[in-house]
Amino acid sequence: MSARGTETMEVNHAELRQWCHELPKVELHAHLNGSIRDSTLLELVKHHGDNGVLISKDVEQMILEKGTSLGKCFELFAVYHVLATDHETVKRITKEAVEDFAADNCIYLELRTTPKKNEAKGMTKRSYMDAVIDGLKAVDTVDVDLCGCELTNKKNGDRRRKKIFVRLLLSINRNEETSAATETVNLAMEMKDMGVVGIDLSGDPTVGQWDTVLPALEHARKLGLPVTLHCGEVRNSKEIQAMLDFNPQRLGHVCLLAEEDWERLKSLIIPVEICLTSNIMTQTIPLIEYHHFADLYKSKHPLSLCTDDTGLFSTTLSNEYYKAAVSFGLGKEEMFKLAQEAVNFAFANEDVKKHLAQVYEEVKARIL
Ligand code: 6MZ
């Protein structure tokens, strides 16, 4: 290939990346602790290392290998929870995560997190969530809409300032007991007027029993809280079938489904949160060419591109769109439609969806 040819390709890729950045995007699957900035993480490691809570060198090595297998992810999450589970740090990582998504032109962020107890820090599940809300209030690079009201004042009345809608999902960790999972569902209900819009089931897919969390998920359904489940990150037919039987509002990942479960997913038309980088980095899917995005997209199955853990996988939502474009040959109109349609699968109310739909209408002529 001539030097000129190489140059042209590079320019096109740079232009495509820029376009993906400018595209207004909707994020439906982002874990708070998975979205911690590297710089913040290293600062926290140093602080806790200096205080003798952990051995900095070991953690730094784990961070170097971060995200390279599902097992390593969950080892690291255990460390993140030691580093980040105090009120001030929860507030800080929430503020930073929202600012990072907004800087990436994300207009709607459904941020999920597992409410945690930390007796040593006087933390309850509720006070953990209060710290998350404090983090949202502390955002100052962008206006934040939480539960229909703006949390940040427009600087100097600047009406052109960026705005991001943030809604929260409370995650149940798969290793929780039924009572702890139910407590999380009740907390979500208690915080419905504070931007909480649903429940997620996540955590290490090799631990925990579906039957243990099912009563809490059924309780959520009775209370009218939408549910999304991490599904098929490991091969577990029985559990995958039980999840399809539950028929949640959305499913995350759906990587390792047997043929009949795959057909069932399609016939149930359950919207899927696709996390390309996450699935490749954790080696859940061996190569992006084999990713089930292609089949779901071709079948016009409802789906949305998501990051999962921006920090852990060193990605952004723009990068996920860029990856989809280069790996599956999507054009700009197709990517625009993908982003626009993700609005339909958000757990936010119709007013928010109308507002988001309007943003896409307004930006369409300029961006396409
Ligand atoms: C399953 C995941 C996950 O809740 O502490 N989490 N669960 N599969 C994944 N794919 C790699 N990525 C993140 O955020 C971190 C928690 O989210 C879940 C895990 O339970 C992890 O501990 P929060 O804010």
Residue 155 pLDDT exceeds 70:
no
Q: Which atom of ligand 1 is nearest to the CA of 174?
A: 20
Residue that wins the pLDDT comparison between 161 and 295: 295
pLDDT value for 151? 78
Each residue of 85-118: pLDDT tens digit? 999 999 999 999 999 999 999 999 999 999 999 9
Q: Which contacts qualify for 46-51: CB closer than 8 Å, 24 or more apart?
A: 48/82, 48/83
Work out the pLDDT band at 128, boundaries 50, 70, 90. Answer: very high
CA 202 to ligand 1 center in whole angstroms: 6
pLDDT value for 152? 66
Q: Which atom of ligand 1 is nearest to the CA of 84?
A: 5
Taking CA atoms only, the protein residue closest to ligand 1 atom 5 is: 33
pLDDT value for 347? 98
- Catalytic residue (one of 99, 176, 233, 320): 233
Residue that wins the pLDDT comparison between 8 and 244: 244
Residue 2 pLDDT exceeds 60:
no
Rounded distance, CA 313 to CA 51, Å?
A: 28
Each residue of 255-312: pLDDT tens digit? 999 999 999 999 999 999 999 999 999 999 999 999 999 999 999 999 999 999 999 9
Residue that wins the pLDDT comparison between 153 and 57: 57
Each residue of 3-58: pLDDT tens digit? 444 444 554 999 999 999 999 999 999 999 999 999 999 899 988 887 777 777 88
Residue 129 pLDDT exceeds 50:
yes
pLDDT value for 4? 44
Taking CA atoms only, the protein residue closest to ligand 1 atom 15 is: 33
Residue 142 pLDDT exceeds 80:
yes
Residue that wins the pLDDT comparison between 59 and 19: 19
Q: Which of 123, 171, 313 to mutate to test the pocket of ligand 1 (most atoms within 8 A of CB)?
A: 171
CA 203 to ligand 1 center in whole angstroms: 5
Residue 161 pLDDT exceeds 90:
no
Work out the pLDDT band at 156, boundaries 50, 70, 90. Answer: low
Rounded distance, CA 165 to CA 102, Å?
A: 9
Q: What is the rounded average pLDDT for all residues in the chain?
A: 93
| Active-site residue flag, 22 | no
3-state secondary structure of 116: coil
pLDDT value for 10? 52
pLDDT value for 323? 98
Of 49-58, 191-200, 239-248, the one with minimum mean pLDDT is 49-58
ipTM of the complex: 1.00
Q: Give the 3-state secondary structure of 188-231.
A: HHHCHHHCEEEEEEECCCCCCCHHHHHHHHHHHHHCCCCEEEEE
pLDDT value for 5? 43
CA distances to 18, 68, 213, 219, 303 from 202, rounded to whole Å, are 32, 18, 11, 17, 19
Each residue of 328-364: pLDDT tens digit? 999 999 999 999 999 999 999 999 999 999 999 999 9
Best CA proximity match to 186, nearest among 216, 213, 227, 226:
216
Q: Tell whether the torsion through CA atoms of 343, 344, 346 and 350 is positive or negative.
A: positive
pLDDT value for 3? 41
